[in-house]
Chain A
């Protein structure tokens, strides 16, 4: 049977390991603001896409506004610690040279108008892309769930 001091040492060692484990989070915690923005911006983005049957320049102000809002959330996510995955996801969505929402806006501007069938199919894909951001955020651990 171990002495009292040895037992105490074992318990102290176990608690030290526990402290070490809890100090190393892998990913950021759930952020209500991030989740709200992701779902809200999805609605705004799809509404803007619906206007793409019109001449782009009639909706230039709306496009500029959504681009600004997306830039804001990107900056917010980029500066959050342990948030690289979410940041990459926003980058894909907003990249004007890419093939998601940002690329859609670029194509609309270049072509001036887009066809209804294409817009409808694009909205499904862009909507699903926004959902990936929301689903990841909603899957993150809430701060109250973490053991201190």
Chain B
């Protein structure tokens, strides 16, 4: 005859959800932060380089204006990518949650 201690099961599920949520969020935040810092570093480098090139005549004022708009478009693309990856994280969390619930329930079934 199979028996399940429901209180312990619920406690195990709550603990599992908490751990899963923290690890999912930490992974996403870490990646987003790295991407953000890289984008800012690239932008600073570009602005310095383009300013020098403008002063030396290698770039025209129109060139610089267009490059600044292209940089802005790239920033928008990066932001969209992060938004998409956040949605992926949500779906991954759901999938991991199902796995955790299934494994926890079956670990509690005692024959």
Instruction: Identify the A interface with B (CB < 8 A).
Output: 1-2, 7, 10-11, 14, 18, 21-22, 24-27, 85-86, 88-89, 92-93, 98-100, 103-104, 107, 115, 117-118, 121-122, 125-126, 128-129, 132-133, 135-136, 139-141, 145-147
Contacts and interface: CB of A to CB of B under 8 A. Distances in A.
Q: Identify whether the interface residues of A are mostly helix, strand, loop, or mixed.
A: helix
Contacts, number: 125
A146 to B, nearest CB: 6
Interface residues of B, number: 41
A99 B59 CA distance: 17
Interface of B: 3-4, 6, 42, 46, 49-50, 53, 58-60, 63, 66-67, 69-74, 76-78, 80-81, 83-85, 87-88, 90-92, 94-95, 97-99, 101-102, 105
Contact of A121 (B50, B88, B94): B50
11 contacts: A27-B87, A85-B80, A89-B81, A100-B74, A104-B66, A117-B58, A122-B66, A126-B70, A139-B88, A141-B88, A141-B91
Contacts of A27: 84, 87-88, 90-91
Q: Which of B70, B95, B101, B105 has the most CB of A within 10 A?
A: B70
